[in-house]
Chains A and B, each alone.
Chain A
Amino acid sequence: MTTETTETGTTEIRPAAVQVHDVHKWYGAHQVLDGVELTVWPGEVTVILGPSGSGKSTLLRVINHLEKPEVGYVSVNGEPIGVRRHGERLKELSERVILGQRSRIGFVFQNFNLFPHLTALDNVAAAPVATGKLAKPKAQELARELLGRVGLADKVGAYPRQLSGGQQQRVAIARALALRPGVILFDEPTSALDPELVGDVLAVIKDLATSGTTLIIVTHEIGFAREVADRIVFIDGGRIVEQGPPTELLDHPKHERTRDFLSKVL
């Protein structure tokens, strides 16, 4: 799912998978994001770390436009999300267009948010059918294949409440994959799981990471971050404090706040 190379000159030939352009976001009087700039390249695995309330989940939700930033915008594969440029200004897009854009961005929730009245198979097959990408039999075939890939081939007919938390989250990942998104966002995918179930979910994410899918993961699993991340971004107070490869950021943090945070969680 790569867009055509843009003619931006001699140096830049491929668009970033995700580019966050100076995003500011307020909840009432409280500023959650304060001028965030971030570029994620195709195939890159980015882990976002930060204390609670630092704005990391909000940043993730701004990327697929579940939250509208007041200032700035995000582009995915070169396409601005939720807005269009109108001369010097940014104008909001219609809901229908935004829904279409979201179907190209996968999102995995902390609480899974599977549709409880649908079987695992229908949870996964729903979106490709509803968005008109696949006919129903094709979508179900894809759903079976994806459920097999996350190790749940035998749970095709189960309803979400009949599954463990770890199994539900793996169905949710299969559901996100069914739209063949260019990038997948994970919002604390293992925070709601029993410790013994975390491993299965992380294994599936790791499998995606090694297969070259672009991933942005908000997590508290530092060990996992070290293992899969190409880059770790540390965020605090709505700003990116520092970013770099795991070994650099985790072992030799430059900033006092990063050091302080890591000393508490490591």
Chain B
Amino acid sequence: MSEPPGAAVPLASAPPAEEPPGPSSPPRTARPAEAERPGDGTAPRPPAAQRVLPLHRPGRWIATAIVLVLVAQIAHGLVTNPFYQWDRFRYWFLRPAILDGLLITLKVTAYSAVLGLFGGILVALGRLSRSPVLRAVAWTYTWLFRSVPLIVVLLFLYNFSALYKTLSLGVPFGPAFLTFDESRLATDIVVAVVGLTLNEAAYASEVVRSGILAVDHGQHEAALALGLPKSYQFTKIVFPQALRSITPNYVNLLINLIKSTSLVFYVSLLDLFGSAQSMGSTYPGDIVPLLLVATVWYLILTSAVSVVQFYVERYFARGATRTLPPTPLQKVRAGLRDLRARARREAAI
């Protein structure tokens, strides 16, 4: 924010300072909260000659102008280019077919995220275990499911589930499958959730493991020295501290997961992307607005996750920092307060 040139007082013509402003000159009225803030209307005015003028930065203004023009062009293109067919976008955005797909995406994501996190915690504990067998099994699991592309896992499971009835008895995960009825949709959702969970757990285990390793060794020792039961050491001492570094990494995975659900289209499940795609093949003229509908919904989901992330991180920051990071509302309030203080200061000078 630069000053208009007229406001500048040439240094040479300024009268000499009579009294240097400083902490020794008390403000005349005492509003305790603001008494020491410079530029409060009641404080003695600093002599104009001593006012420090901010440096002019023309380069910054030019760069800002160029970027603003570019942004305006893109926005203008988005709004006016007939290619996007915004009227069709509006038509499709809340169509039941799309909302059904959105629901499937939400369901698959939610199940896989929760199961994947629990699976990841178990695999991470396996890798940190003292038993070489558990360590090896956990390592192999992570290695396998990080190596195989998700789409391959999904298609494998899809074909596997077609043969399922003949295999049902000997499989350890059997009961979970059998609780669902024979309707095709339920089975597809199960296939999708199992596939995504297997994949998610492999990545989540590494995130959880890194979080646990990041907890100071002294914390383990203190918990041991107090004789805290083993489960309590993990759930109340180590894991809550690990969550602080797990959260941002796991949210990354979660956002990736939301987008990965679009692959379930290939196991004939109509998620958000799948519905847009299938509507697009029925109405070939509407492919672009349908893709826009999917894009905007994915943006909304990711934004919602980011908001939750902020508050979760803030919650786990308790004790890790001396003061909690401000919420957006607090930031806005602080910004307004600064602006008002600045205005008062300007008025005082």
Which A residues contact B (CB, under 8 angstroms)? 64, 66, 95-96, 99-105, 107, 109, 111, 113-119, 126-127, 130-131, 159-162, 175-176, 179
Contacts and interface: CB of A to CB of B under 8 A. Distances in A.
Given A113-B219, A117-B240, A99 B228 contact: yes
Nearest 10 CB-CB pairs, A to B? A103-B227, A113-B222, A102-B227, A159-B319, A113-B218, A107-B225, A127-B226, A99-B227, A130-B232, A117-B319
Given A109-B218, A126-B236, A117 B318 contact: yes
A125 to B, nearest CB: 12
A104 B224 CA distance: 12
Nearest to A104: B227
B319 A179 contact: no
B183 interface: no
Interface of B: 216, 218-219, 221-222, 224-230, 232, 236-237, 240-241, 316, 318-322
B320 A116 contact: yes
Contacts of B225: 64, 66, 102, 105, 107, 109
Nearest to A100: B227
A162 B321 CA distance: 8
Nearest to B316: A117
Nearest to A128: B226
Given A117-B241, A118-B319, A126-B236, A131 B222 contact: no
Contacts of B230: 95-96, 99
A116 B241 contact: yes
Contacts of B232: 130
Given A66-B224, A107-B226, 9 more contacts: A102-B226, A102-B227, A107-B225, A113-B219, A114-B222, A116-B241, A118-B319, A127-B226, A176-B226
25 contacts: A66-B225, A95-B230, A96-B229, A99-B224, A99-B230, A102-B227, A107-B225, A109-B218, A109-B221, A109-B222, A113-B219, A115-B219, A115-B237, A115-B241, A116-B319, A117-B241, A117-B316, A117-B318, A117-B319, A127-B226, A130-B228, A161-B320, A161-B321, A162-B322, A176-B226
A160 B230 CA distance: 23
Contacts of A159: 318-319
Nearest to A119: B319
Among A95, A126, A160, A176: residue with most chain B CB under 10 A: A126
Among A107, A116, A131: residue with most chain B CB under 10 A: A116
Contacts of A109: 218, 221-222, 225
Contacts of B224: 66, 99, 102
B226 A175 contact: yes
A131 B219 contact: no
Contacts of A115: 219, 222, 237, 241
Among B229, B237, B240: residue with most chain A CB under 10 A: B229
B265 to A, nearest CB: 42
Contact of A101 (B216, B227, B240, B319): B227
A130 B322 CA distance: 27
A159 B322 CA distance: 8
Contacts of B216: 113
A117 B319 CA distance: 5
Among A96, A114, A115, A119: residue with most chain B CB under 10 A: A115
Contacts of A102: 224-227
A116 B222 CA distance: 12
B229 A131 contact: yes
Nearest to A101: B227
A134 to B, nearest CB: 14
A130 B236 contact: yes
Nearest to B238: A115
B319 A113 contact: no
A118 to B, nearest CB: 7
A72 to B, nearest CB: 21
Contact of B227 (A117, A118, A119, A179): A179
Contacts of B226: 102-103, 107, 126-127, 130-131, 175-176, 179
Among A64, A113, A127: residue with most chain B CB under 10 A: A113
Contacts of A66: 221, 224-225
Contacts of A160: 319
Nearest to B220: A113
A126 B240 contact: no
A160 B216 CA distance: 15
Among B225, B232, B320: residue with most chain A CB under 10 A: B225
A121 to B, nearest CB: 13
A206 B298 CA distance: 64
A161 to B, nearest CB: 6
B81 to A, nearest CB: 52
